[in-house]
Amino acid sequence: MSISGAYKRMRVYKEFYPLLSRDHVHQDEWPSFERLVAILPIIRKGGDKEEWYQKAKNLIFKDLREEIHTVAGPLNNKVCKHEQTSLFKKCEDCGAWIPVEGECEHGE
């Protein structure tokens, strides 16, 4: 498991374990980990935990993604028009991305 995957599991456990243990149902009936990860940003921004837990548990994944989209905005970059962008340079030595200030889009 990757470090980011481990952190996701820790955040999901921290946020949702009280609800999961309250249900007193077998673990197979809990919402999937992917569903809980998908709603986690909404919960962290103040969304109602119980409401979103129920949505994750009861909605099909497509409907859940649409609900998330209505609250959080587009879920993928195909919808975004990329109107607000920033320029970066990549350091060849260490691989760090450094913001470029004062240059236009074409580097002129």
Contacting residues for 95 by C-beta, under 8 A, at least 6 apart: none
Q: What is the pLDDT of residue 7?
A: 86
Domain ranges of the chain: 3-72
Cross-strand bridge partners of residue 99: 88
Cross-strand bridge partners of residue 97: 90
For the whole model, what pTM was predicted?
Answer: 0.58
Phi then psi for 99, rounded to 5 degrees?
A: -65, 140
More confident residue, 8 or 108: 8
Q: What is the pLDDT of residue 25?
A: 61
Q: What is the pLDDT of residue 106?
A: 47
Tally of CB atoms within 10 A around 68: 20
Residues 59-72: what's their mean pLDDT? 87
Average pLDDT, the chain: 79
Q: How far is CA 32 from the centre of its chain?
A: 14
Q: What is the pLDDT of residue 77?
A: 54
